[in-house]
Each structure stands twice: as C-alpha cells, then as structure tokens.
Amino acid sequence: MNNQTHSTVRLVEPVVDRPRMTVIGTGYLGATHAVCMAALGFEVLGVDVDARKIEALAAGRVPFFEPGLEDLLRETLATGRLRFTQDFAQAAAFGDVHFVCVGTPQTKGSQAADLTYVHAAVDALARHLTRKSLVVGKSTVPIGTAAALTQRLQAAAPAGAAVELAWNPEFLREGYAVADTLTPDRLVFGVTSAWASAQLRAAFAPVLDKGTPLVECDLPTAELVKVAANSFLATKISYINAMAEVCEATGADVNLLARALSYDARIGGRFLKPGLGFGGGCLPKDIRAFAARADELGVGQAVAFLHEVDAINNRRRRRTVDLVRELAGGALQGVRVAALGAAFKPNSDDVRDAPALDVARMLHEEGAVVRVYDPQAMGNARRAYPELAYVDSLPAAVHLADVVVLLTEWDQFRHADPEMMGWLVAQRKVVDGRHALDADAYRAAGWDYRALGRPLMSSTVDLGTADADSLEFALRQVGAAPAPA
Ligand SMILES: NC(=O)c1ccc[n+]([C@@H]2O[C@H](COP(=O)([O-])OP(=O)(O)OC[C@H]3O[C@@H](n4cnc5c(N)ncnc54)[C@H](O)[C@@H]3O)[C@@H](O)[C@H]2O)c1
C-alpha cells in the first residue's frame, strides 16, 4: 500500500495529530523507541516495572550498551518531552498511543514464546484506560497473539471497545538501534480499523514523511512479518555455515565460496558470513517460537527446516571447541585459553544465547583454563556465567595463553597487532571463530591460524562489510559521526 497521510483516510473518529505516547518496557527495544520518539518531537512517557531501569533512564543513564543512545537520551530529557515512571495509572492518563515493548523470551522447558510479560503489561495498563486510545504491540509474538490480546484488553479496559489494538513489529538491530529506529527500512502496521491506521500514521508521521515504505496489513500478517524476517536471516547464516561443514570435509574454503556467492545479486553478501553463527535475544528464540506456533497451527511441516537451521547453528559452537582442542594437541585439560568476546555480536553488551559464552562454557567444562574478555559485556557475562574467569583487558586475556579464540568480532580484536599479541601468549595459536582476523598477517607473525570451514593453509579473504552494516554508517545516519572525507 502506498504512503497516505492520515488526512486522506476516511475516518470514523478523529485522531490525535501529535499523540502523547507511552512506551511500556524500557529494555533494548523500548528505551530506544522512547528516546527516538521524543527526539522526533513527541511527548513520551517510558514505563517499566524495573525500578532501577527507570531511575537510571530518568537520570540520563542507559542501563545497557547501545552506541549513540545515551547522548540522545540526555538531549531528549533536557527538552522535557521524555519522562519515565513505574505508574500505569499515570501512563494510561497520559498516553494517546501506548507501545508495548516488553520481553517475549523462550519459555523454560519449551520452544514456545513466554507471553507472561505481555499479558502482565497489557493487564496493568488496561484497567486504567478510561478513554479512547490505541495500544500498539511491538514485541515479537506468536501469530494469533494480537487477536487474543484485543479481547483481553477490551474486556479489562473501562473504555471497552474504544480501546483498540494494533501491531507494529520492530526490526531494529542492536548496535545500530538508534539509526534503525529513526530511519527504518520499512514500517509495518497491523490494524483492524481506519481509525487505528490513521492514529498510527500520526504517531509515525516524521518517519513516514521521510519516504519510509509502509506496509499496512491485518494483525496476523504483521505478527508473521517479524518471525518470517528473522527466520530468513537465520536460514541465510546457517546456509553458509552448512556449506562450511561441507568445506571441512572436502578441503574447500568457505570464505572464498561466500565471496564468490556474494557477487550474485540474487544472493548478496549480507548475512552470508560463515563462522560461529547467530545468537542473541531474538533470532534463536524467534525461530523456535515460530516452529512451535506453526506446529500448533497444523503447519509445522512448512517450517520444519527451522529445526535444521537451529541445529546447524548449534553445531558451529561445538565445532569451534573441537578446533581449539585440535590446536591444543588433542586435549583441553589445563590448556590456557584466551576467549575474546562474550556479547552475541560486536557493539552490544547483550549476552542472551551468546555463542561466545556458550563456547567458553564448553571449553571450561572440558577442563580448559578459560579467561574471558569483552569490551562491553563483562557485567552481563559475569552474571550469566559466574563459573567462568574474567579479565579486564585484551592483554590480560592473552597473557600466557596456549590458544587464543576469537568469539565476538569487536574492532579492538580485529585490529590487534598479531606481533604484539605474540609477545604475550605462551603459544602462537589462534582459532578465528568469526573469520574476522587477517589470516596472512597472523601467519606472517608465526601464528598457527585456524578457522571453521577453511583449509589449514588458507589465506586472508576479505568478506567485506556492507556499508549499511557498519557502525560508522549507522552513527552518520543520526548525525553522531563525521561523514567520511
Ligand atoms: N532487542 C532487540 O534487538 C529487538 C529487536 C526487535 C524486536 N525485539 C523484541 O522486542 C521485545 C523486547 O525485547 P528487548 O530486547 O527490549 O527485551 P528486554 O528484556 O531488554 O526489555 C524488556 C523490558 O520489559 C520490562 N518489563 C517486563 N515486564 C513488564 C511489565 N509487566 N510492565 C512493564 N515493563 C515490563 C523489563 O523490565 C525490561 O526492561 C521482545 O519481544 C523482542 O523479541 C527486540
């Protein structure tokens, strides 16, 4: 559907032109959304049940690492347009549009999504909704959730059916969250009425005015878009990692393969990077929840391949441990391993389902003496895996190491000088779990270099980074980094 301004839509009821917004759940998604909406000129109230998060945000501190977000938080707090609270009655009285951004983690002991937080947030808000308003789900949920939530919401709200529900799935990437929120590549609105459509358009007017493509659809399609997108991305990563397994059996080089494939415009190079695979708070749990929901709907077979995508991804973690063991001479007991990285990807401190920490844990369980270092994720990593040993710098991690293993491709690790690293380690042996190091430079400095899916004597292959995937690009988009000369 083409972009339309809300004035062209035939309305049943008037919309609020500059709606006041609440953002319920101020984690990675919600805090970013609240700050960016305030930056776009709206009055915004962030709501969370976590008192420490609310206090930190209100004081201008982002309780997690996200490039560019803290500066923007401080700027928007200073305008007076952005405030934070734990009070749902205040939120209901304040907001014309309420964004629900709470977590939907994997249920313990099952593959399905846990909707406890979504239900709690909607219930807490609904009982105070005494006037017409729009509740907009942004969390990633199983198909059918929005329809059930609509009934729950309208049954609990004093305003009844005057309260409507829409779904607006979020596609931001941690590490690029500010740019992705201010300049998304598309918006998706799942709506059930002309009024909801017009109210959402008003809420996103500054983004739509930039020409952002909008797809307006029914609720199930909006829910499906998000899990379909994540399933596609996960499949692309696991596809090249499946090829890496074939490479390992044949002596072929997966990096050269990926590069050759990437020149085919129908395939493209983005998300075609072989290595340790995906993790984080979205992709793994989203593909599992999607498969579980598809089973319930009787179409499990249609997405049965997602189980294989997950299995390929998990095998890469075990295979990385195998490579470290091989390089260590066949056994890990007592081997000192420098584990570089803990976050599930660079430019984030998120360690949810992080491949890096999973590998560090497996190495530790096999008796290796593992020292973990990550530029931003140390606090989260310590809390998630207290049994591992952590050090505060790259030199401290590699000091007297028998094997160095790169697990998260932070720039600091990619650009470390192999010669200087070589002076610190006990043995010049490195496993490049992310295909991010300069193999030639390491070999020239006398290192034994190994990477998944690559022959023993492979040399450097530049897999390149799409401009849109670079942090500099994302920061330039929001005016936080200088344009290249
Ligand atoms: N993180 C991402 O990159 C990203 C991207 C797109 C979509 N999503 C989706 O967005 C949702 C949130 O993800 P996240 O990474 O921000 O999670 P998060 O855990 O960082 O944040 C969730 C927040 O919700 C709060 N919360 C829990 N129960 C609440 C309640 N009843 N009322 C108010 N607040 C409550 C928590 O305290 C927490 O601050 C998930 O469904 C996720 O799949 C996340």
The alpha carbon of 62 and the centre of ligand 1 are apart by a number of angstroms equal to: 14
Q: Which two tokens stand for residue 130?
A: 């005494």
Q: What integer pLDDT is reported at residue 458 of this predicted model?
A: 74
Q: Which of 23, 28, 136, 278 to mutate to test the pocket of ligand 1 (most atoms within 8 A of CB)?
A: 28
Q: What integer pLDDT is reported at residue 463 of this predicted model?
A: 72
Report d(CA 194, CA 199) in Å as an integer.
Answer: 9
269: Cβ below 6 Å to ligand 1? no
Q: What integer pLDDT is reported at residue 478 of this predicted model?
A: 62
Q: Which of 50, 102, 344 to mutate to test the pocket of ligand 1 (most atoms within 8 A of CB)?
A: 102
24: Cβ below 6 Å to ligand 1? yes
Predicted TM-score (pTM) of this structure: 0.93
Q: Is 282 a catalytic residue?
A: yes
* 132 known ligand binder: no
The alpha carbon of 366 and the centre of ligand 1 are apart by a number of angstroms equal to: 34
Q: What integer pLDDT is reported at residue 6 of this predicted model?
A: 47
Q: Which atom of ligand 1 is nearest to the CA of 64?
A: 20
Q: What is the CATH number of domain 6-217?
A: 3.40.50.720
Q: What is the CATH number of domain 228-462?
A: 3.40.50.720
The alpha carbon of 48 and the centre of ligand 1 are apart by a number of angstroms equal to: 10
194-205 burial, b if ≥16 CB within 10 A, otherwise e?
A: ebbbbbbbbbbb
Q: What integer pLDDT is reported at residue 470 of this predicted model?
A: 65
Q: Which tens digits make up the pLDDT trace of 146-169?
A: 999 999 999 999 999 999 999 999
Q: Which of 64, 101, 347 to mutate to test the pocket of ligand 1 (most atoms within 8 A of CB)?
A: 101
* 279 known ligand binder: yes
54: Cβ below 6 Å to ligand 1? no
Q: Could you tell me where in the chain the CATH 3.40.50.720 domains are found?
A: 6-217, 228-462
Q: What integer pLDDT is reported at residue 476 of this predicted model?
A: 62
Q: Which tens digits make up the pLDDT trace of 320-343?
A: 999 999 999 999 999 999 999 999
Report d(CA 31, CA 18) in Å as an integer.
Answer: 20
What string of pLDDT tens digits covers the 485 residues of the chain?
A: 344 444 444 546 899 999 999 999 999 999 999 999 999 999 999 999 999 999 999 999 999 999 999 999 999 999 999 999 999 999 999 999 999 999 999 999 999 999 999 999 999 999 999 999 999 999 999 999 999 999 999 999 999 999 999 999 999 999 999 999 999 999 999 999 999 999 999 999 999 999 999 999 999 999 999 999 999 999 999 999 999 999 999 999 999 999 999 999 999 999 999 999 999 999 999 999 999 999 999 999 999 999 999 999 999 999 999 999 999 999 999 999 999 999 999 999 999 999 999 999 999 999 999 999 999 999 999 999 999 999 999 999 999 999 999 999 999 999 999 999 999 999 999 999 999 999 999 999 999 999 998 877 777 777 766 666 666 666 666 666 554 44
* Residue the block writes with tokens 């490195």: 430
